[in-house]
Structure 1
Amino acid sequence: MIDEATLDRAVTAGILNAGQREALMALASQNTDPASRSDDTATMSVDDQMRLVGGGNDIFVTVGIVLLFSGALFALQAVLPSNSMMLAGLLAAASWGVAEIVTRQKRMRLSSTLLALAFIASALALLSDFIGTRFSLPDTINAFSLLALRGDAIPIGLTLGGGVIAAATLYFVRFKVPVLAAIVAIASTGLAFLAAMLVLYDQMVSGSIAAPAPDQLAEVLSSALIVPLLCGAVIFAVAVFLDMHDRERQTVWSDCAFWLHVVSAPLLVHPLFILATGQDVLAGRIEPGMGASILLGVMIAVFVLVALAIDRRSLLAPTLAYFGSVGIYYLVNGAANSTGIPPFALILVTIGAIVILFGAGWQRIRRLIIRPLLPTSLLNRLPPIKA
């Protein structure tokens, strides 16, 4: 069997490209003897093949990385001045250096993810220290101090968000770690939200629109949810695009799509929940009426169908977790004041049944629902349905 180092040399020599290397590694990791595979493995969703953990040795090395960097952090904090930019710089360099072995040579997946996050955290600390020094930020940040920073808002936002995107892109080009796709998506969403808030603020200052009265703040905040909703839709579209160009989920781009689905789900679900049910985001009222509960049920059904079609439980899991956590919060806080069955209890029952049912037979459900529901032309572009 050809080892990973040999495949890496083949890529460097131009014998293989990166996609072919990933496909060969995925093929080698699969058991080619059909008789030795269980029914569960034969019908496994391609979403379950998201390559996150590379085995026991990967976990072992991950523990070593945590211990190494924790010890280094405490040691450097004792030697270097407090809030030193050198500390973040050293940790970023160490993350990169260890990744040259763990990621580039050994291709350890969980360890690589941890190192990538450590690098981004170090880069974020560096950018934060630079912003604090360059723009003389006040010690305490509140609404009034933020308004006073309006003139520097754009360079601060571009430095922080753009710097994180640049660092993640540079690291991805070198090491191809999929979780960085989520980092780029989150930073881009933050920049979009900042731009929308600055436009709204400038319109109020110029008199183009009136400042909202106190009783209108809830409506304004609900309207502001359009921004993360649009960002979630864009991120979801990018993830689907990557999925449709890698139907068998054999390359690193499908793993990037996994993380993009994880990010897009809450960005889509929370705004849709607030806008569809008319919840008061200031008062914190989360109990929908019967009509809104029915609408929530329809929303869950739509998300379920979409997740089944694209074969991504990574989209469905945050969705169900969000609805479930909101429902549990309501039930705990409303149990003492209610003697009847709250409408949201029905949603919780539905979510619990869906989780158990789908966990036991995801591919069978895909085959029964999606195959007769969608035309063949679309099915041929979606992840294959296992027989």
Structure 2
Amino acid sequence: MLKQAHLEEAVRRGVINARQQADILVIAREGDDDSAAEQQDVQNIDNDEDLRLVGGGNDLFVTVGILMLFSGVGFALQTWLGDNQIIRAALMAVLMWLVAEFVTRQFRMKLSSTVLGLGFLGYTAAILGIYIWETLDLAKIADNPQLAFGLRPTIGSYGSAFFGGIALISILYFWRFRVPIMSAAIAISLTGFAFLWTFLYFYDGVTDGRVQLPTVEQVPLILERALMMPLICGIVVFCTAVYFDLRDRERSTVWSDCAFWLHVISSPLLVHPLFILATGQDVVLGKIEPGMTASIMLGLLISAFVYVALAIDRRSLLIPTLAYFGSLGVYYMIESTANSTGLPPLALILLVIGLLVIMFGAGWQRIRALIVRPTLPTSLINKLPPIRV
């Protein structure tokens, strides 16, 4: 008997697409009067951004088993091996890889595979971190911070080995198991690599005399210019995610899931720098109350993110964006003085965000059709994810 799991496997292998899967399920249930509500749910499958993070009750059950298994193994290894952290981490990583050969390769359990992938990556990163910590004897810096200046000849190579190692491990794990969250790990590690060398470049400029130490008045300007690095990294990660989306318009392959995680990573990298650059706010030093001009710029910035999210059909880009602005508004209202009068500008922003979330949750595809379809050329719309109304 044909089951939904068979159809999901057919979608994963590229035999059919997600829309065809939904149509087949609708046909299979047309004769059952008692499943009318369920038919409506199936017809609406393509109206939502399918995260494919959990494979079902059995996936959750196995995930709990994995957490219990490795918790027990961790306590046992700590008892047997004591303080030998590298050996313990290596054994845990090897065991997680072996379990992934069964859970991920054989049964493609989504949540369990994600937990195993993150665990394997965490233990391998711990091995690299512990090795670098012990090799450079970083514990001495806590007692004598001046020793940090003597690490410059080696910090670049060891830092590159750390971030590059995590990226290579993530690529290897993805090549073997096709776990989408590894794309986020690759993006984060490469972003860390870029931050490291940007810092070392300016540090070398100061020590060589090419760059003067900033005065207190110049600190805000330096911080503002420093925002260019996360902004550039966010643009690169976002463009990579859009590329994956364009090569999988039907959202039926692992590349679509990779794009989801890349959008989650790119959103904070884009939002924070653009917020400060567009509104002139100094979040680092605590000034976050925007005036009228800054509030207008903030509203335009939110509108731009909303429009892009609608165009590429990615709420995973929009949710962190709204969460950022919402948390910023909450922070401002908590820090506001008791004698302030009138409605704070960011309170209005919070109201708008709340309405947007409810409205988008109720009719995402209809809003896409109303906003995106009339404003973009047909040639571009045909390359974007289909508008399903």
Which TM-score applies when normalising by structure 2?
A: 0.91
- Indicate conservation of the 8 Å contact 2:267/2:317, yes or no: yes
Instruction: Find out whether 1:32 has 2:25 as its counterpart.
Output: yes
Q: The residue matched to 1:48 in structure 2 has which SS?
A: coil
Matches within 5 A, 1:208-247: 208-247=210-249
Other-structure match for 1:13: none
* C-alpha displacement of 1:147: 3.1
**337-346 or 311-320: which moved more?**
337-346
Name the CA distance, whole Å, in 1 between partners of 2:189 and 2:175. 18
- Indicate conservation of the 8 Å contact 1:228/1:267, yes or no: yes
Other-structure match for 1:62: 63
Change (3 A) 1:262 1:6: closer
**126-135 or 366-375: which moved more?**
126-135
Other-structure match for 2:112: 111
Percentage of matched positions with identical amino acids: 53
Name the CA distance, whole Å, in 2 between partners of 1:219 and 1:115. 43
- Indicate conservation of the 8 Å contact 1:138/1:145, yes or no: no
* C-alpha displacement of 1:44: 4.2
Change (3 A) 1:145 1:337: farther
Change (3 A) 1:359 1:27: closer
Change (3 A) 1:201 1:317: same
- Indicate conservation of the 8 Å contact 1:4/1:105, yes or no: no
Q: Residue type of the partner of 2:26?
A: D
- Indicate conservation of the 8 Å contact 2:26/2:39, yes or no: no
Equivalent in 5, 17, 21 of residue 13 of structure 2? 21
Name the CA distance, whole Å, in 2 between partners of 1:4 and 1:94. 32
Instruction: Find out whether 1:97 has 2:98 as its counterpart.
Output: yes
Other-structure match for 1:122: 123
- Indicate conservation of the 8 Å contact 1:239/1:256, yes or no: yes
* C-alpha displacement of 1:207: 1.5
Other-structure match for 2:336: 334
Equivalent in 275, 289, 292 of residue 290 of structure 1? 292
Name the CA distance, whole Å, in 2 between partners of 1:166 and 1:82. 27
Name the CA distance, whole Å, in 2 between partners of 1:140 and 1:87. 26
Name the CA distance, whole Å, in 2 between partners of 1:251 and 1:192. 30
- Indicate conservation of the 8 Å contact 1:218/1:281, yes or no: no
Equivalent in 199, 202, 208 of residue 200 of structure 1? 202
Other-structure match for 2:282: 280
Name the CA distance, whole Å, in 1 between partners of 2:175 and 2:102. 16
RMSD between aligned residues: 2.5
Name the CA distance, whole Å, in 2 between partners of 1:130 and 1:97. 24
Q: Residue type of the partner of 1:308?
A: L
Change (3 A) 1:259 1:384: same
Q: Residue type of the partner of 1:77?
A: Q
Matches within 5 A, 1:1-387: 21-24=13-16, 30=22, 32-33=25-26, 35=30, 38-39=39-40, 41-45=42-46, 48-141=49-142, 144-334=146-336, 336-387=338-389
Q: Deviations over 1:104-126 (max 9, x none)?
A: 00100000000000000001110
Change (3 A) 1:223 1:62: same
Change (3 A) 1:274 1:344: same
- Indicate conservation of the 8 Å contact 1:45/1:362, yes or no: no
Name the CA distance, whole Å, in 2 between partners of 1:26 and 1:137. 52
Name the CA distance, whole Å, in 2 between partners of 1:4 and 1:24. 13
- Indicate conservation of the 8 Å contact 2:195/2:229, yes or no: yes
Unaligned runs of 5+ in 1: 11-15
* C-alpha displacement of 1:137: 2.1
**87-96 or 133-142: which moved more?**
133-142
Unaligned runs of 5+ in 2: 31-35
Name the CA distance, whole Å, in 1 between partners of 2:158 and 2:364. 45
Change (3 A) 1:78 1:27: farther
Change (3 A) 1:325 1:145: farther
Name the CA distance, whole Å, in 1 between partners of 2:90 and 2:103. 20
Name the CA distance, whole Å, in 1 between partners of 2:101 and 2:16. 21
* C-alpha displacement of 1:298: 0.2
